[in-house]
Chain A
Amino acid sequence: MSTVMKKVDAVIVGFGWTGAIMAKELTEAGLNVVALERGPMQDTYPDGNYPQVIDELTYSVRKKLFQDVSKETVTIRHSVNDVALPNRQLGAFLPGNGVGGAGLHWSGVHFRVDPIELRIRSHYEERYGKNFIPKDMTIQDFGVSYEELEPFFDYAEKVFGTSGQAWTVNGQLVGEGRGGNPYAPDRSNPFPLESQKNTVSAQLFQKAANEVGYKPYNLPSANTSGPYTNPYGAQMGPCNFCGFCSGYVCYMYSKASPNVNILPALKPLPNFELRPDAHVIRVNLDSTKSKATGVTYIDALGREIEQPADLVILGAFQFHNVRLMLLSGIGKPYDPKTGEGVVGKNFAYQNMGTIKAYFDKEVHTNNFIGAGGNGVAIDDFNADNFDHGPHGFVGGSPMWVNQAGSRPIAGTSNPPGTPAWGSAWKKATADYYTHQVSMDAHGAHQSYRGNYLDLDPVYRDAYGQPLLRMTFDWQENDIKMNRFMMEKMGKIAEAMNPKAIALLGKKVGEHFNTASYQTTHLNGGAIMGTDPKTSALNRYLQSWDVHNVFVPGASAFPQGLGYNPTGLVAALTYWSARAIREQYLKNPGPLVQA
């Protein structure tokens, strides 16, 4: 039998970016809020203490801050005809664990969204005709526009303390010749901080991209270019490019995180409680199955605890949100055979390509210097900034040098053909470690009928619940786009005039490799939209089926973006919170009539 806790107004599952934003917004509205985080308490002190945090083996290699897969993981298969196997060691993606979630160890690339990607199906059908999108590609419009979200992008940047250069502000050109992105949509305000400095690698990319005729710009970064105080009174210090960014707690208070930017404002509140080591196993529904009564979780001692609440926010990582909906019976599970059902549908990822260029000793890229959000990019092939007509694929890709800091155990790389050990390896590693540039094509990934999430029939977690199963593989459109992007980025690499180049793109027929890191940008499975037949959530991230359950996160994206997802995740969370505060609390019920 569960111990039953005192009822609260709102319970939040997961304390990463979405959980922290919702906690702040709902406590501002006067609600009593409890946030349940399944991992431990974590903060800058002691988890990011200098110099202990400057430890590659403990953090990146043994994966200290990432999800504990000994307790729970996902299973993966390439098609419905395969038997799914557990992801026994983290590889392709690195979800977080503990207070701050992946927001504590992320890099900090902080984009908005290209407006056409919010209405991608409509846009492609308008420009290229109804037959351009492949039949099995299930991309959908988000159901919300850039104009509607602009104030929330703006506010999220202020909370994060984001560094960057606007192109236009309220229609006035401000960014030409200063690192602005000519493809960026209009903004209501400049970035809170100016762009960060550019590393030598980023400078090389900028020069080469200009030579090839592209339009390089400074990456928007949630690493501070100067001291900053956000609207919640949280203070940040200037980023010193320590090079221990992605995978680490920032010891400098320079990388935005829920812990640095939001938690300090929540801690003193009498109407907020953060309960770590609380692993939620289900959302409880009433007998009508149309209303949640709260959640049940396992505490640190293994006791089952029920937390009643009027409002339930699922703010866990993308695939945990989807799994909790499936485990709780919220929404109809997706069936790839019929295409019916919505929970688990439109699972999408990121379509990455990488090129490494190796230089002589007079080019000092000093790759140990780095900041996770920093760099120089081009958008000439992102979104629909070029004519897709002749190329026959859907999707775009920003390309960039984003030198986050590479460390010697996992971050050394040598020209193709170098042996993996012995004196030849040693010499190459000594010759190239500080003389190389790595650049990425960070491609959008589309959703398909056959890529989806459901519950695994065989494997279970430490609490006896079925693991989530991913059925996922690269499709023809993905390979086509990746090869196109690699060719375009190759021109930039060649213009740098390096000694050697390594091309790490996708080959025809290649399967998804679960062991090799790509990104942690997983999308979909509990998608937002305008029709309950094709989406799990309405445009305010409210469950169509259970009106007091809201599900913010990249799980709501109907497909992947060219840009990194966190900026849109944060903006959508503020957008959803505004709807809860201004509409839902006054009149609890569906915010959109089905």
Chain B
Amino acid sequence: MKQSPLFALLAEFERVEELRSAAERVRDEGYTQFEAYAPFPVAGLAEAIGFHTVLLPMAVLGGGIFGCVAGFLLQYYVAVIAYPINIGGRPLNSWPAFIPITFETTVLCASLTAVLGMLAFNGLPRPHHPLFAVPAFRRATRDRFFIAVASSDPKFESESTRRFLQGLNPSEVHDVPR
């Protein structure tokens, strides 16, 4: 398969409403490998680019369950097996007393999974990205809105994709080299 010399095509918009409607049209056109960039959170943009979050919530749930079980077993091991002490005649397995720590380890593992999972699924840390080669893209953190359609998209074909993006009335369409 011939590899495209481009990494992506980048459409630049001046207004947030244009970004949202353009994103919906790119999605409806059948593209899947595309990304939207805005300097602030835009309500409804995640839905507009057809973003489905499945992996991270499941990973956080898994992290939480792991923290819950591991936290309880740690206390059980310490209090019952490794170092059993009679404290005021209470049972060695004083499970009500273990609940606060179990809760804390659940939250700890779930939130660590959330932070680390977010970084991992986003491919971070990443010192360089091909989009940085486009000077105009710097304004994505200030006052411009962008949609990048990656050349890895099965529907990507540089000329027809460029014509399609032009049809969305962007202020400009940039080539993003590899």
Is A bound to B? no
- Chain A residues with CB under 8 Å of chain B are none
- Chain B residues with CB under 8 Å of chain A are none
